[in-house]
A and B are shown apart, each in its own frame.
Chain A
Amino acid sequence: SYDLTQPPSVSVSPGQTAIIACSGDNLGDKYVSWYQQKPGQSPVLVMYEDYKRPSGIPERFSGSNSGNTATLTISGTQSMDEADYYCQAWDSGTAPQVAFGGGTKLTVL
């Protein structure tokens, strides 16, 4: 199986930039997606194919992926961005498998 590692928590002050990292072996060779999950809600796709934003996702969300690390960056973080964030990539093998990171709790202090 393919392991994706995220920090358990990240804290940021309102208006500052939050950076959430996701690491995996040669992750830069894969496409990474990011999901936001607020308490009691379903995950929502906020980034796909490393840096593409789905319709309706604010421009303050951006993504990158290179080497062994992908990052989700939230510029001008707002209190509404407080949530759990999960990275996801596909693992190749006899059949493709979805791999999720363990999740990062973003706290906006």
Chain B
Amino acid sequence: EMHLVQSGAEVKKPGESLKISCKGSGYRFTDYWIAWVRQMPGKGLEWMGIVYPDDSDTRYSPSFRGQVTVSADKSVNTAYLQWSSLKASDTAIYFCARVEQYWHMRSPLDYWGQGTLVTVSS
């Protein structure tokens, strides 16, 4: 059975760094892209970026480029989302999701992780 398991909730202070993870199992991890999606409190879904674990090819939403780093380590079937300096406005739930094909522009985000709540507060 296919799973994406994300790391646990985090409470951080402004200016701190953070790296959250998303571990895939039950499928060939290197055959699919992993997307990251933000959901701010009471708001909708926002696409942040995507990574292909096989070669670490990475693409970003213009809204998030330079604000976060998306990466992957295929040796441990895990994708990552990281911040170098958090802001209070980064408080949100972050989801990872699997995407079969990126360049064909037709694949859905077919399986989602359980989400990681990141709270940034002084």
Contact residue range for chain B? 20 to 34
A55 vs chain B, min Cβ distance (A): 10
B98 vs chain A, min Cβ distance (A): 10
- A102 on the interface (CB 8 Å rule)? yes
B27 vs chain A, min Cβ distance (A): 14
Residues of B contacting A30 in the complex (Cβ-Cβ under 8 angstroms): 105
Residues of B contacting A33 in the complex (Cβ-Cβ under 8 angstroms): 108-109
Partner of B45, one of A54, A92, A95, A103: A103
| Bound CA span A80–B107, Å | 26
A31 near B105 with CB under 8 A, answer yes
B105 vs chain A, min Cβ distance (A): 4
A56 vs chain B, min Cβ distance (A): 12
Q: For B44, give the chain A residue with the smallest CB separation.
A: A103
- A61 on the interface (CB 8 Å rule)? no
- Mask for A47-68, Cβ within 8 A of B = 1, else 0? 0110000100000000000000
Residues of A contacting B102 in the complex (Cβ-Cβ under 8 angstroms): 96
Q: For B45, give the chain A residue with the smallest CB separation.
A: A100
B6 vs chain A, min Cβ distance (A): 9
Partner of B113, one of A42, A95, A96: A42
- Mask for B106-119, Cβ within 8 A of A = 1, else 0? 11111111110000
